Structure 1
Amino acid sequence: MKTIIALFLTLNSCFFFAQTGTRILILSPAAHTFHKVPGKELKTGVDEYRKSLNLDEADKYFQSDEFKKRDENIRLIQQSEVAFLKQLDEVKLMSYLTEQHLSYFILEKIETAVFVLKDQTSSGNTDDLKRLATQEKAAFVVHISAFNLLHEKGKSSAEISVQLFDVNTGSIILDQSYTGGDTNPGFEYTCEDGSVNCCINNALSKMVPQVGRLILKNDPGMKQQKQLVSKQNMSLELLKAATKFDAAALSKIISPDDKQIDQKIAYQVLFSADQTKFVAFFAETVPAGDVKAFRDKHKEDRNINIISDDQSGFFSGSLPNTYAYIVRGVFYKGKWYYEKTEVTYFDAPTLEKGKTTYFTNLRDWGYFTEGTSTPDPAFWEGKEIEHYTLKMTTMFVKNPASEAENGGMYRLVVDQMKEGK
């Protein structure tokens, strides 16, 4: 079994939050059945976690000065995970995996969120869930009311029953079961075909997006954020409409021999004031017929984002109807360096609306001054970062000045020089 993110292990993590925010409590499963499922596989998974996560080292770290300097919410998350993992068994594994995938989903939007794993069960009624939430000062409670594994006619399956309790409304806003088969769903839920792990991952791949979206929808802080996003989207839609697409300028930069970039589907490009940087937008409709041929055409794509409740379609023959990506570039010493990135599959009512929707992703790439709908001049300037390997949330990022040989250069220039481009 494989975890997608283990916060307490990322002791040099990029998450440096100023304060604690929304608290999400995740309980142990209230009931379970394992019907003819090889228990050895589950136990092996638990043993692998314990062995790989090195809990003794985590305890030592919690006594260190470095840990004490961490922001409070990071300390809480790390301590909660370690305490829970010490009591981990085949049943509680479900809660731990839920926390791992849900934190991956939520922390992109609520950076100050705290996830609390609690080895405690609930009766599932609102009074009991409210009591547990009050104890932990949680805004939401994820109650796994049942965790069932079945093996019939040579096939295994998992069923996860979940309640989501919202403290603000005092009500259960989700009460649903999710099932998963034993076929590899891919991406962050990758597993071995036919395994119990695949059953669990498939069920999680359906449950986590729905639970996550409901938390984001009902979180008070996110409601304010949505108002800001609405203003930013309007500003970007006006920018897209007012900016004439300069296809000729783009064609002078991108080589016609670059088979990974289809200039025929480009629809907008923005240049910096000094014309030394650009970001171009591309989109097309995914053909309804041979999805495999379309996937094969783009087999070199990396870090693909599929916005869909069912990501298994990427392997089973169905995809969201819109395919989009950006190309960003920097002019350095007489040469353009550019890269294709942010490859995304998503559904849109029309291709034109899909183009507009994808263009508004600029708000997540540092286009606006934080907390406003005013464009940020630093968008084009590049920002130095402490760790060279972190995921970039700004469009243009410089290498840290501490790297003497590359100090001040843009990341994509350095990367492509290393590749001999």
Structure 2
Amino acid sequence: MSSPTPPPAALPSVATTPVEQPPGDAEAALHKASSPKASSPKASSPKASSPKASSPQGASPRAAHSLQHILNPVDDEDVPEPLQVDDAYGPDDNDNDSTYGSDSATNYTGSVSSSIYHYQYENGRRYHAYREGQYVLPNDDQEQERLDLQHHIWRLLLRGSLYTAPLPSPPVEGEDPPADGSLRILDLGCGTGIWAIDMADEFPYAHVYGVDLSPIQPDWVPPNCKFHVDDYEDAWTYGPDERFDYIHGRALSGTSGDWARFYRNVREHLVPGGYVEMQEYDAWIFSDDDSMARAPWTTEWVEKLDKASHMFGKPINIARFHKQWMQDAGFEDVKEVVYRIPIGPWAKDPALKELGRYELTHMQMSVDSHTPALFTRVWNYSQDQVGVLMEGVKREFRSKDLRLITCYRFITGRRPLSDGDVNV
């Protein structure tokens, strides 16, 4: 399976006709589940994933972590060291490490229209009402649990930290507020608000703002934390005197069709010298061995998910391009750190084993969240076909014979100190 072609920052239309191949076992099962009213486009036959083609590029280590050995500072021509496998983990290991999938308005700035609570229901999942249809992930309780689990994984990677940008040290309890004013922090696509709330607790003198399409954040939050229902794809309404010291985005892949404009907005709304940080994971799966060649469901899923997101106009597998996009937008001191994470507790290293256990559950929940909307809207899958595909992928994730891997990335950049206005 080759690595997808990098999209430009502003994405053109994409051809919608997939290449037809004879169906394999996974494809045959999907056709068997097909209802008469919907047919499934045939996918290319599964091929072995190339670790070199799929490996992250351009990463550079920034700090010493307990997980330093799984950082992946590679050049374009380098291949990272394979993850070491725990020989005791295998088909005879009865430890089921994943129990998942086994066979108030006063906190919002401005007025909140009741229409944003008129959620849409599709494929048994609940979706946002504001900007209906513009975002393919649900916002129901199941998705909120996934986002909070994901938050835990991010913090494990950073040994409990919330960020990698060089922000001022959090104040000590009882310390006077900073004389030069407090930090202004913006969290784009804040989801449940868990990151923004934790940042507000860590920086009690900061003003933390979260923006999301859905009002799913809790009512009781720190007094220095506020949430706003909005779409950051629209024009930003913050004035010149409301610029931020730090803008954060996490797991925003699949939310924008024009990342060049996104970064122009970010740069314009940072103070000179302010930082942007993107925390992203690859919507792609690979292996150091031949596991992907033995995972036809997973191969089909990632390939069709990637194609469908392009056809929808908001590509999802774009995490590896943020470093270049920041540089193209004029940010300085751009850095990227990449972690290679096992899907499942099969790694020999104890820290990786713990991460893999959480990631196994997270990835199964991600399949349930990412698949229904794109595969029914773009590929015209029936609900039965979607169900068969999702169960096949999750079964392969749980397989003790497969050694599947994905990547998490931290990318930071600084707005130049001598920087004029940006034309958005």
Fold match by TM threshold 0.5: no
**What interval of TM-score do these two structures reach, taking the shorter chain for normalisation?**
under 0.3
Larger Rg: 1
Q: With CA pairs under 8 Å and 6+ residues apart, which has the higher RCO, 1 or 2?
A: 2
Give the helix-richer structure, 1 or 2.
Answer: 1
Give the strand-richer structure, 1 or 2.
Answer: 1
